[in-house]
Amino acid sequence: MLAELYAMQEAAQRELGAIESPEALEAWRQAYLGKKGALTTLLRGIGALPAEERPEAGRVANEVKQALETTYAEREEALRQAAAARDLSASAIDVRLPGRAPALGHLHISTQTLREIYAIFARMGFDVLTSPEVEDDVTNFQLLNIPPDHPARDMWSTFYLTRPGLLLRTHTSPGQVHAMRKFPPEPFRVILPGKCYRYEQVTTRSEEQFHQVEGMAVGRNITMADLKGVLAHFAREMFGAERDVRFRPSYFPFTEPSAEVDISCSLCGGKGCQLCKYSGWIEILGCGMVHPVVLRNGGYDPDEYSGFAFGMGPERMCMRKHSITDIRLFFGNDLRFLQQFS
């Protein structure tokens, strides 16, 4: 029995040293240490030995089993480390290679346009203020000279909230009231950018949500000439020094007199094309002198103070500047469109 145990140990260790794969190692374990393995078979035969030989045979059998298990564990760890080394070698990183710069996002084209507008007016001394997107009917309409029965309300399809009297602002013009009540009786110049909401059919030219930039200046002896100078300078800064600018009479309830501002078409140079509807001109914003009623509602005496106001749509501005034909692209999250302005 002892000779058989030692012979089996020698043969098992010799085979174990030649194993190079986990599969072969598992087969070896089953052949020698498994329930039906060679060592288990020999251990079962100890009971058939004479009584005086059993203790020595049991001791040697345990030593052989412990030696084989130790050798097996060592070989298993060696194979694991060899496999890890191969994997590391196959996927080694060459630290001499230049790094890969992370992919960065960029500002949305609406934000880029807004910041360009901010910068132009900042150079003319205008501050930037914000006003609430949720307004009451009084501020959104009535304080701007638009009483409940005024026909001009048909110009704004309004989102009303469940709480009576509250609505999503339809334009940034309520910011005029907030600005005047913030500064009286001091002169000021501000622009008030923000989102507006109207219950309109979504088309290539209109959206339910859009940006506007309201502008306002109030002080003593402010005239229409000041308004024209500011907006003509803005138009040429925004669209190019070669642009011609014209003012057309218009109507807004909160300004008097009121005007629309056009620039010469950048595509045809004023000769007439499909973009400008063959007029040679493209509208960019509305403006006017602040109505005396609005000045008074804001806390200013219209006999002492005057002011001008204007409003523009940054998305419309961007469409004019880059010949974009569909306003829905700004809010459609189509990367093919957005990445053109990275």
Token match 């669209």: residue? 239
**Stretch (H or E) spanning 75:** helix 54-90
HSE at residue 87, side-chain half, CA atoms within 13 A, is 6
d(CA 145, CA 167): 17
283 beta partners: 262
Return the pLDDT at 219: 95
Amino acid at 177: V
What percent of the chain lies above the pLDDT cut of 90? 48
286 close to 259: Cβ distance less than 8 angstroms: yes
In the predicted model, is pLDDT for residue 47 greater than 70? no
Mean pLDDT, range 14-33, rounded to an integer: 79
Looking at 3.30.930.10, 3.40.50.300, 3.40.50.11540, 3.90.550.10, the CATH number of the domain 109-341 comes to: 3.30.930.10
CA dihedral 166→172→174→179, nearest 10 degrees, is: 130
Amino acid at 52: E
Could you report how far apart the first and last alpha carbons of the chain are, in Å? Answer: 83
For residues 206 and 196, the answer to whether their CB atoms sit within 8 Å is no
**Rounded distance, CA 226 to CA 243, Å?**
19
Rounded-to-integer distance, Cα 70 and Cα 59, Å: 17
What is the structure's pLDDT at 231? 96
pLDDT in tens, 205-245: 888 999 999 999 999 999 999 999 999 999 999 998 988 99
Provide the token pair at 121.
């007016």
Element (H, E) at 245: strand 245-252
Determine the average pLDDT of the residues in 6-12.
73
